[in-house]
Amino acid sequence: MVNKITRDDLDLYIRDFGGGMRFIKHPLLNEMVFGELDQVIPEDFKKAILPKGLDAKTFGDAYVQKINFKKQELDKAIEQQNWDKVFMLVEKPFRLNWLEENIDLIKDDKQYYNFLKDAYMMTEFPMNGFSNYRDLLDLFYARKNSKLMLDKDELKLLNSLPNEVKIWRGVKVDDVLDDDNIGLSFTLNKDKAIWFAERFAQAGVSQAILIEAVVKRDDILSIFLNRDEEEVIVNPEDIKIKKIIEL
């Protein structure tokens, strides 16, 4: 659960990225730090950083107020079972972890899988916050019917696939290819996988790798079409790797 914080707690959530760039990385606040935390806020700046009706003396106090205000709103949304509002209150990079920690709160399976689908698709790097891919994978197995997250177009595509489906994954490998590189997300589109492999790879530093595999259609956990990636979610233990290609 997300707890209220004090000014002393705030420093635990500050991340320094160098060059004067500091961010607050908290499940309810993910934004750049303005000013020094103990600096008095100019009056004309308060409206820009504080929710309406709140006041604070220093920047640090303002961030604490914002987090605790959102905590109150989160508690209300949970009590009302307003999962759309919960989704919006929890910051994007923390939604999957919030769901893992509160997996029993959402009783309705369809609502649960809708939350999981949106959280997964809106997170650039879903593995962040998980020690291994199996912990993330457990979210898809939790209610034993991950097909509930498919819309009608995704379900139509799934049903049209052959019994054995060819899939690809593009990755950047710094050292050796391991389980976490293989991951959960593949695509039906080879060109899209190549794009993912090459977008962050650096010559002499990392290697762009294309993984070609097959999976049984019935073992596909989900398909996402919203991002125009023809993304398929699979358990790496259910696939058979056919080729590993250095690009």
User: Could you report the per-residue pLDDT of 136-158, keeping only the tens digit for each?
Assistant: 999 999 999 999 999 999 999 99
Q: What is the pLDDT of residue 205?
A: 67
* Residues 186, 220 contacting (CB under 8 angstroms): no
Q: Which of 233, 228, 227, 213 is nearest to 158 (CA)?
A: 233
Rounded CA-CA distance 157/17 in Å is 42
Mean pLDDT over residues 33-43, rounded?
89
DSSP 8-state secondary structure symbol assigned to residue 42: P
Q: How confident is the model at residue 221 (pLDDT cuts 50, 70, 90)?
A: very high
In the chain, % of residues over pLDDT 70: 96
Name the pTM for this structure: 0.90
Band (198; pLDDT cuts 50, 70, 90): confident
C-beta separation of 188 from 85 below 8 A = no
Instruction: Label residue 202 by pLDDT band (50, 70, 90).
Output: low
| pLDDT tens digits, 69-118 | 999 999 999 999 999 999 999 999 999 999 999 999 999 999 999 999 99
**32 Cβ partners below 8 Å, 6+ apart?**
21, 22, 23, 24
